[in-house]
């Protein structure tokens, strides 16, 4: 009758199973296919969800305890950083433009990930996978909010941050990240897991995370650094979830392999294209650079990614074929992107500039095969023009790729002097692409990609003006009307860094800080 003897302790694994999948049951008053209506149409075959290996075992009480501890520390650092005007300690005010790009481009994606994982965390039929996804849904809300809170104080003192949500849904280059995530969320739950859980969180996460967060650390931004470091252990959980999902699908049925391979190919390319903007930030926007985009690609994709794909080879997974092109392009894309943003600097919600000589030298050294040959002369020419008071701003609208939505500035893989154009016909309409891989993605699902909200098309269709605007009025300036609709404050959010309000304020404030002691 001794209870202590009778109640044998469960092992950790059994105990966690009792705390999660043991809660689940086969419904009978409603058919299982009605309770879980979305997890079959993609064609992924799952025979036994009990084979799911929980990638981490965290009960809610432990979750609350650990996460609250992290939140306490993070907000203490933020409060101290803000109170002490920590923003004046960054390397120079150009750095702050990287944060503007982060808040307008990345933070809304964290929020989308939150909702996306809530959806998948409701819809997957396996209880173990559902719990892990729900926890990630909660984490992603954390990431969105800690980023907003970290950058809130920058918004009080600098331009370009003030309407990030509104801008994300409207501005031309921000449709690149927005369409990326919209694409993932509108796919089925398994594709979402490959797109976000695996390709983005596992394969490419270091290429996003390391540049921004190490960039913050290198440039004296303790605020942004703190949220990044605080998110690290969450990210580690997310990575194991993504990898477990891939392995689970591949182990469940051999027929899943071609579907999964197709998704890995697609999402690696979608991710790589989107990371062009991150690479540009690394090479051009950080006053103190962490490493070049090319180096990051070599370390985090060619080496780590190569090892990962070797590991997956036993399931029949091969390295995505787009990697060959991305490897050629690692020497080009950041320069092409920055030159484009520089020229469209009137229509961007951050400041642009020509790198200083010492920075051009750094780029020459990091890109010995391409920079001096193709890009340095252009940048020097543009810089020279600016010095003569002829800062160049393009006032035309660029053609965008129907898939990745990046302006068509990428060059042919075998000819860096020639812009790469591809096109497809669908229902009598022509669609344009930046690359074979973007075209292939479109050709596979044209009904999806024809729906894209293309920023330039929308401008031409007159959908990007405020409701009270009359485009037929005399002297109507369409570009100004579009910027007004974007809520870009002309002369404050946009244009060259040289002479910008941010530059002046930063210098004045820092001077005050130094001289008053």
Residues 423-482 that bind other proteins (CB under 8 A): 448-449, 451-453, 458
Exposure letters 73-106 (e unless 16+ CB within 10 A, then b): ebbebbeebbeeebbbebeebbbbbbbbbbbbbb
Task: Give the H/E segment covering residue 228.
Answer: helix 222-252
Q: Which of residues 54-83 bind other proteins (CB under 8 A)?
A: 59-61, 63-65, 67-69, 71-72, 74-75, 80, 83
Query: Considering only residues 94, 100, 101, 162, which one is a binding residue for other proteins as defined by CB under 8 A?
Result: 162
Binding region for other proteins (CB under 8 A) out of 162-170, 236-244, 284-292, 472-480: 162-170
Nearer of residues 365 and 445 to other proteins, judged by Cβ:
445
Q: Per the structure block, which two tokens stand in for 2?
A: 């001794």
Token pair 């990428």 in the structure block, residue: 410
CA distance 368 to 190: 42
In angstroms, give the least distance from the CB of 449 to other proteins.
Answer: 8
Q: Which of residues 178-197 bind other proteins (CB under 8 A)?
A: 178-179, 182-183, 185-189
Q: Is residue 227 close enough to count as binding other proteins by CB under 8 A? A: no
Binding region for other proteins (CB under 8 A) out of 114-122, 207-215, 319-327, 344-352: 114-122
Instruction: Give Cα separations from 301 to 35, 176, 324, 382, 462 (angstroms).
Output: 40, 21, 12, 33, 41
Residue 130 CB-density burial (10 A; 0-12 exposed, 13-18 middle, 19+ buried)? buried
List beta partners, residue 52. none
Query: Considering only residues 57, 91, 92, 122, which one is a binding residue for other proteins as defined by CB under 8 A?
Result: 122
In angstroms, give the least distance from the CB of 198 to other proteins.
Answer: 19
Q: Is residue 512 close enough to count as binding other proteins by CB under 8 A? A: yes
Q: Which of residues 283-342 bind other proteins (CB under 8 A)?
A: none
CA distance 248 to 49: 9
Q: Is residue 85 close enough to count as binding other proteins by CB under 8 A? A: yes
Query: Considering only residues 101, 104, 121, 375, which one is a binding residue for other proteins as defined by CB under 8 A?
Result: 121
Q: Is residue 373 close enough to count as binding other proteins by CB under 8 A? A: no
In angstroms, give the least distance from the CB of 436 to other proteins.
Answer: 22
Q: Per the structure block, which two tokens stand in for 514?
A: 């130094």
Please tell me the chain's helix, strand, coil percentages from 3-state DSSP, rounded to the nearest 5.
65, 5, 30
Query: Considering only residues 51, 76, 84, 316, which one is a binding residue for other proteins as defined by CB under 8 A?
Result: 84
CA distance 151 to 173: 21
Q: Which of residues 9-38 bind other proteins (CB under 8 A)?
A: 10, 14-15, 18-19, 22-25, 27-30, 34-35, 37-38
Q: Is residue 156 close enough to count as binding other proteins by CB under 8 A? A: yes
Query: Considering only residues 169, 365, 429, 477, which one is a binding residue for other proteins as defined by CB under 8 A?
Result: 169
Query: Considering only residues 44, 99, 131, 280, which one is a binding residue for other proteins as defined by CB under 8 A?
Result: 131
In angstroms, give the least distance from the CB of 448 to other proteins.
Answer: 5
How many binding residues for other proteins (CB under 8 A)? 101
Give residues with Cβ within 8 angstroms of 368, minimum separation 6: none
Q: Is residue 349 close enough to count as binding other proteins by CB under 8 A? A: no
Token pair 């150009």 in the structure block, residue: 94
What are the backbone dihedrals phi and psi of residue 368, each rounded to the nearest 5 degrees, phi first? Answer: -65, -25
CA distance 351 to 504: 13
């Amino acid at each position: 009758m001794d209870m202590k003897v009778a109640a044998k302790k469960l092992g950790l694994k059994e105990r966690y199973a009792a705390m999660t999948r043991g809660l689940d049951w086969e419904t009978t008053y409603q058919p299982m296919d009605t309770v879980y209506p979305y997890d079959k149409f993609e064609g992924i075959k799952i025979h036994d969800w009990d084979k799911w290996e929980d990638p981490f075992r965290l009960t809610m009480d432990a979750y609350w305890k650990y996460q609250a501890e992290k939140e306490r520390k993070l907000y203490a650092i933020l409060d101290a950083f803000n109170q002490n005007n920590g923003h004046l300690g960054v390397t120079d005010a150009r750095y702050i433009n990287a944060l503007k790009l982060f808040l307008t481009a990345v933070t809304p994606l964290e929020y989308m990930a939150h909702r996306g994982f809530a959806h998948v965390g409701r819809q997957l039929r396996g209880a173990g996978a559902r719990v892990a996804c729900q926890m990630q849904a909660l984490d992603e809300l954390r990431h969105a909010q800690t980023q907003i809170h970290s950058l809130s104080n920058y918004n009080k003192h600098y331009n370009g941050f003030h309407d990030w949500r509104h801008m994300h849904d409207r501005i031309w280059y921000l449709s690149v990240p927005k369409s990326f995530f919209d694409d993932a969320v509108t796919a089925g739950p398994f594709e979402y897991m490959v797109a976000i859980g695996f390709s983005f969180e596992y394969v490419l996460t270091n290429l996003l995370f390391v540049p921004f967060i190490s960039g913050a650390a290198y440039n004296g931004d303790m605020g942004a650094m703190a949220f990044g470091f605080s998110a690290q252990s969450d990210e580690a959980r997310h990575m194991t979830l993504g990898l477990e999902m891939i392995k689970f699908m591949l182990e469940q049925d051999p027929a899943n392999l071609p579907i999964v391979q197709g998704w890995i190919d697609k999402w690696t390319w979608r991710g790589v294209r989107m990371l062009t903007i991150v690479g540009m930030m690394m090479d051009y926007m950080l006053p103190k650079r962490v490493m070049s985009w090319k180096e990051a690609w070599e370390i985090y994709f060619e080496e780590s990614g190569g090892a990962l794909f070797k590991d997956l080879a036993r399931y029949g997974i091969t390295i995505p074929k787009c990697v060959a092109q991305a490897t050629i392009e690692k020497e080009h894309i950041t320069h092409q992107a920055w030159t484009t943003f520089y020229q469209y600097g009137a229509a961007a919600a951050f400041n642009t500039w020509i790198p200083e000589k010492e920075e051009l030298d750094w780029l020459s050294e990091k890109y010995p095969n391409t920079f001096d040959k193709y890009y340095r002369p252009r940048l020097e020419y543009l810089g020279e023009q600016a010095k003569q008071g002829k800062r160049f701003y393009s006032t035309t609208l660029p053609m965008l790729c129907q898939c990745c939505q990046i302006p068509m500035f990428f060059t042919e893989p075998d000819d860096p002097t020639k812009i790469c154009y591809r096109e497809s016909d669908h229902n009598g309409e022509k669609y344009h692409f930046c690359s074979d891989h973007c075209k292939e993605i479109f050709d596979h699902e044209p009904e999806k990609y024809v729906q894209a909200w293309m920023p330039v098309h929308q401008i031409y269709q007159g959908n990007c003006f405020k409701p009270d605007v009359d485009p037929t009025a005399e002297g109507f300036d369409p570009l100004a009307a579009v910027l007004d609709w974007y809520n870009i404050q002309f002369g404050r959010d946009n244009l060259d860094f040289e002479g910008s309000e941010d530059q002046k304020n930063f210098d004045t404030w820092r001077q005050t800080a130094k001289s008053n002691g």
